[in-house]
Amino acid sequence: MNRTLPYFHTYSFDDNFAVTGSVEVDKPGPILANWQMYPIEEAVKDGPIPMMTMGFDLELFPEVSDQLEIARSTHRQSLSFIQIYDDSPGAKLGDIVVFSQILQPIIENGNVVAALMLKLPWLEFFQKLNIDGLSDTIAVLRSSCDIGFGSLFDTGSELSYLIDSKGAIFMGQLDAHDPKYDDLVVSRVVVDFDLDEAEIPEGVCVPTLTLDLYPTEELEVTFQTSKPKLYTAVVIAIFAFTSLVFLLYDYFVGRRQRKFMARIMRQDRIVSNVFPAAIRDRLYEGEQKGSKEENLFDPLGGGGGAGGAPLADLFLETTVVFADIAGFTAWSSAREPAQVFILLETIYGEFDKRAYRHNVFKVETVGDCYVGVAGLPEPDKDHAMAVCRFARDCVKTMKDTTLKLEVSLGPDTSELELRVGIH
């Protein structure tokens, strides 16, 4: 049957693509006019150029036969891959160009009478991509069907392209990505016609295309930075500085506290030597209850007790002992002050030991006179006996001590005697 295609088959670049005529085609099967292919093949610009005097007989192309079978069975569009040798300028011998063609059937009375076809060259597609961060990336186009026709080309299901800042490079019919970047893949389904498998002829494969993007080692290097190391060093430096400041602060605070505690301990020893434990405790309690400016060493003044009242107690049962050194005035007039101090310090030190042993409270020492009392600040019913025993020991100690000091303080030191009075 002869058909007249109501479409132009000749056009002119110089005449605004004016229609110049039509052509009669005598073909039994689906036909495809050349101008219906996109993109239109390049042509020279001079004069009207007849593109085709007749349409394509699609049955003559084996790479389209499966698509026609799908079109007749489903009346739906389909996709196939075409591989040809690259004959473009600069191409090397054996270079292959892979593109996909999408066929859209034209149905008339339930029959496929013609087709529209879209050719998609994948290399040009990836070369024209302009996506931020897509530089130095491996693009793997995966098909659910084998890609390849005949024995001239390899078969497989993957195509790999290297996308860099200059464009794209076809790497081959393989999966060229580095497996160590498997967990960083970005995958999308780009073509899926969702055809009913029951309607597809046996032995015909309808490909579903998936695009996987993988980073390369070059891309990883561009994102490598020394900032984490710098930040780590800064954090360590800050931590070291704060630790040093804390240690210095702890050291100086500790030293200050040790000095303060040493001073408190010295004051406590002084108070303990001057006052009995009971009086000392009452002085401390008065300090806590009274003003912070109270004087701990003024028991008779405003700081002597709580509320400024002096500390005074009445003891009815006490015994007082007075002990002075006979001959001390004459002996000391012939001695150096240091020798006088050694004598008194040694003798009174021994008296203090006896006083502690016999529970006698030392009141004071005035010159060569030692004053003690028993029965206070804690009552003692045997206060008189305690004083007597204390006086007896002091007399004996006086003799022994002066005899020992005679070597260093002079021969007449042993002639000193102790006089004791008890009341």
Structure tokens at 100: 């996909």
Residue 393: exposure state from Cβ atoms within 10 A (0-12, 13-18, ≥19)? middle
Collapsing DSSP to helix, strand or coil, 54 comes out as coil
- Where residue 409 falls (left for φ over 0; alpha for ψ -120 to 50; beta otherwise) is alpha
Residue 56: exposure state from Cβ atoms within 10 A (0-12, 13-18, ≥19)? buried
Structure tokens at 265: 């301990």
- Please choose, from the candidates 94, 97, 71, the residue with its C-alpha nearest in 3D space to the C-alpha of residue 84: 97
Residue pair 323/418 in contact (Cβ under 8 Å)? The answer is: yes
- Please choose, from the candidates 92, 202, 205, the residue with its C-alpha nearest in 3D space to the C-alpha of residue 148: 205
How many whole angstroms separate alpha carbon 23 and alpha carbon 21?
7
Structure tokens at 406: 């005679």
- Please choose, from the candidates 144, 236, 218, 205, the residue with its C-alpha nearest in 3D space to the C-alpha of residue 177: 218
Task: Please name the residue ranges forming H helices in 100-216.
Answer: 122-127
Torsion of CA 260, 262, 266, 271, to 10 degrees: 50
Residue pair 122/98 in contact (Cβ under 8 Å)? The answer is: yes
Residue pair 97/83 in contact (Cβ under 8 Å)? The answer is: yes
Cis ω for the linkage preceding 201 (within 30 of 0): no
Residue pair 297/352 in contact (Cβ under 8 Å)? The answer is: no
How many whole angstroms separate alpha carbon 101 and alpha carbon 80?
6
pLDDT tens for the 423 residues of the chain, in order: 334 333 333 434 344 544 444 444 455 555 555 544 444 444 433 444 344 434 556 666 666 778 888 888 888 888 887 777 666 666 676 677 788 888 888 888 888 887 787 788 888 888 887 666 567 899 999 988 877 644 344 556 888 999 887 788 888 888 999 999 999 999 999 888 888 878 888 878 888 889 999 999 888 888 777 778 888 999 999 999 999 999 999 999 999 999 999 998 888 888 777 777 777 777 777 655 554 444 544 544 444 444 556 777 788 888 999 998 888 888 888 888 888 899 889 988 898 888 888 888 888 888 889 999 998 888 888 888 988 999 999 999 999 888 888 888 888 888 888 898 988
Residue 379's CB: how many other CB atoms inside 10 A?
A: 11
- Phi/psi for 111 (5° steps) reads -115, 150
81 pairs with which residues across the strands?
100
How many whole angstroms separate alpha carbon 414 and alpha carbon 405?
8
How many whole angstroms separate alpha carbon 396 and alpha carbon 351?
11
Q: Tokens 């339930």 map to which residue?
A: 110
How many whole angstroms separate alpha carbon 349 and alpha carbon 39?
123
User: In this structure, what DSSP letter does residue 397 have?
Assistant: H
| Single pTM value for the model | 0.46
